[in-house]
A and B are shown apart, each in its own frame.
Chain A
Amino acid sequence: MKRKLLPVLVLGLLLLGAAAALADGDIYSGGPWGTKITGLPYTISAPGAYYLGSSLTVAGSDGITINADNVTLDLMGFSLIYGTPGTGIHSAIYMNGRTNVEIRNGAMDSWSFGVFENGTTGSLHRILNIRTRNCDYGVQLKGNGHLIKGCEAVGSPNTCAFWLNGGTGAIAGCRAQDYSSSGIVLDYGGIVRGNVVTFTGTTPSLSGGIRLNDSGASNFLVLGNEVRNCEDGIALLSASSILGNTVTMGSFSSSFGILGNKDTATVLDQNTVVQNASPGSTSFTGWIGGAQTRTNNATPAGRF
């Protein structure tokens, strides 16, 4: 019996090893190695690699507080869950002025903030493949040089999915759904590339699917995004290159496909604004704004 079981187990292990060797991608997480987080609340106070071994729940506090730089936190596909939704203001993962923290590969449910960097000196965080549900803010990062990539935030609705608050960086390949203020917000310049922002409700989004604020000499690249059924698809209050985006307008009143403002340095090219429903008012338009350079863009009213 034991002799016959042994080859099967050996075969299983060999197959296991062979399968792992096939992995090839942006990041290979070959763990679990490092420090396993087994309960919440938890504070990380030293650099290194940390990971979850199961989904974890807590009520009345932040989930994981990161008080060290140079940290990698792999959720390993598991979830951080807030146990008493709607009570208190707490973050699944909280930081204040940290540098070089990578958080990846898992989910967060029912928090005020999924990932929150609350310090303006925060820098170079990488938030990769994180999914948030029912969080007022999916990922909000203050500071500079952050990257949010491959993430998803679904609200019910909630306030804002992804916000580089007062700083710069890039948001790429993310999906934001049902956020009543804005899906994606950048304040001081950066890149918004390849994201999808949608709103499935009937209450209008207040500010825009993608909102680019005018905070000083800010400049933005908005490339290859899709925005659907938001009050304003792309609201740019500063200079930008707006390239190759598709905006589908909904039935909200006073909606704009791409809303510009005062700046003269905006480049619009290869964008399409689609009118998906009868307008709620006469304010529907593909583009509104000040002087700009534009060519080869399509709107319901024709090319602009």
Chain B
Amino acid sequence: MRKLLWLQAMAAALLLSAVPVLADDGFYVVGGRPTPGTRITSLPCTITTPGYYYLTQNFSFSGSTAITVNCNDVTIDLMGFVLSGTTAGISLNGNNVEVRNGTITGWIYALFGSGINQRAIGVRAVGNYNGILLGRNSLIQGCTATPGIDNTGWALKVTGGTIDGCTVMNFAPADTPYGVLYTGDAGGTISNNVVIDCSGGEAIKGCGPTTISNNFVKNCLTAISNDGGGSIVGNVVEANSGQTGIAPATGGSSPNFISTFLDQNSVKGAGTHYGPGNAATFYGLNSP
């Protein structure tokens, strides 16, 4: 009897050691059921209790908002599925809410947040009027965005925070001076992103003091601008005729100009490579 119990205990320990399997790059796989948390089985769904929620199927929803989060401390895992509809895909009204790992398509707002410390990780917001718009001190990482019914909405926006490792195509925000990838007046970082063919709009824009680094921007009306100043480092830009590559801040007045440092950037194409800046625009090593 005891031997049998020990065997069972060892089997449980082996199960524990095998789950989750940690692979490269922060990538986890849980190899069996039950999946912890709460399964979302129908829409609309309103979450009012902190915890972990997940999809196990595609959903198509024609009402106003498919998933609403009205509390703090929530994780929603789309589990690779597709959430499609018309008005608002996911609305976040809480703080410390993360949405990850799936496709949101067809909405006026794919993912909209009004709280703070929100995270969108690996969310593919394709074919929406507005992509992912999160609150203050938020993170958008490893996401994609393309426009839907027309291309004049926002792609990715945080009100202070980080936009990292994302890919965006074909947006052209009508609501200037806002950008395709945009940090609000609280500033933040915009790094490692690919922005392509936003030929009617400003691609990467820091409204507050923002670090804009290691991005690739191609064929956009204004590739990079920073009204709030900050560092613009290691970006590569293709600016065609009539377009501007990098437009550093021009604001402020002596002795309090808004300052920008440009270094290791490369701009190519028939457009204007660099905007005029101001007396507090400093240049390191950049292509002509």
Which residues of A are at the interface with B, using a C-beta cutoff of 8 A? 1, 4-5, 8-9, 11-13, 15-17, 19-34, 47-49, 69-70, 72, 74, 76-77, 99-100, 102, 104-105, 123-124, 126, 128-129, 144-147, 149-150, 168-170, 172-173, 188-191, 193, 217-221, 223, 238-241, 243, 263-267, 269, 293-295
Contacts and interface: CB of A to CB of B under 8 A. Distances in A.
B28 A29 contact: yes
B125 to A, nearest CB: 10
Given A170-B194, A267-B287, A20 B15 contact: no
Given A221-B216, A265-B267, A19 B19 contact: yes
Contact of A30 (B35, B141, B196): B35
A133 B221 CA distance: 42
B36 interface: yes
Interface residues of B, number: 81
B46 interface: no
Interface in B212-248: 214-216, 218, 234-238, 240
Contacts of A9: 8, 12
A29 B29 CA distance: 5
B122 A27 contact: yes
A23 B19 CA distance: 9
Interface in B144-162: 144, 146
Contact of B101 (A28, A70, A219, A243): A28
A239 B121 CA distance: 32
Contacts, number: 278
A37 B124 CA distance: 23
B126 to A, nearest CB: 5
Contacts of A8: 5, 8-9, 12
Contacts of A69: 126
Contact of A220 (B19, B79, B141, B236): B236
23 contacts: A1-B4, A11-B12, A12-B12, A13-B34, A20-B30, A21-B52, A23-B20, A23-B28, A27-B27, A27-B122, A29-B101, A30-B79, A70-B126, A102-B80, A123-B169, A126-B124, A126-B144, A129-B24, A172-B165, A217-B270, A219-B236, A219-B237, A241-B266
Chain B binding site: helix, strand, loop or mixed by DSSP? Answer: mixed
A128 B216 contact: no
A26 B142 contact: yes
Contacts of B15: 12, 15-16
A239 B216 contact: no
A293 B103 contact: no
Nearest to B219: A217
Contact of B266 (A27, A76, A266): A266
Q: Which of A4, A72, A77, A193 has the most CB of B within 10 A?
A: A72
A63 B288 CA distance: 48
Nearest to B271: A217
Contacts of A19: 16, 19-20
A201 B61 CA distance: 56
A62 to B, nearest CB: 22
Interface of B: 1, 4-5, 8-9, 11-13, 15-16, 19-37, 52, 54-58, 77, 79-82, 100-103, 105, 121-122, 124, 126, 141-142, 144, 146, 165, 167, 169, 192, 194, 196-197, 214-216, 218, 234-238, 240, 264-270, 285-288
Given A190-B194, A219-B237, A240-B236, A29 B265 contact: no
A128 B101 CA distance: 12
Contacts of A11: 9, 12
From A12, A104, A267, residue with most partner B Cβ within 10 Å: A267
A7 to B, nearest CB: 9
Given A47-B82, A123-B169, A219-B218, A100 B124 contact: yes
A223 B214 contact: yes
Max chain A CB contacts within 10 Å: which of B4, B36, B55, B288?
B36
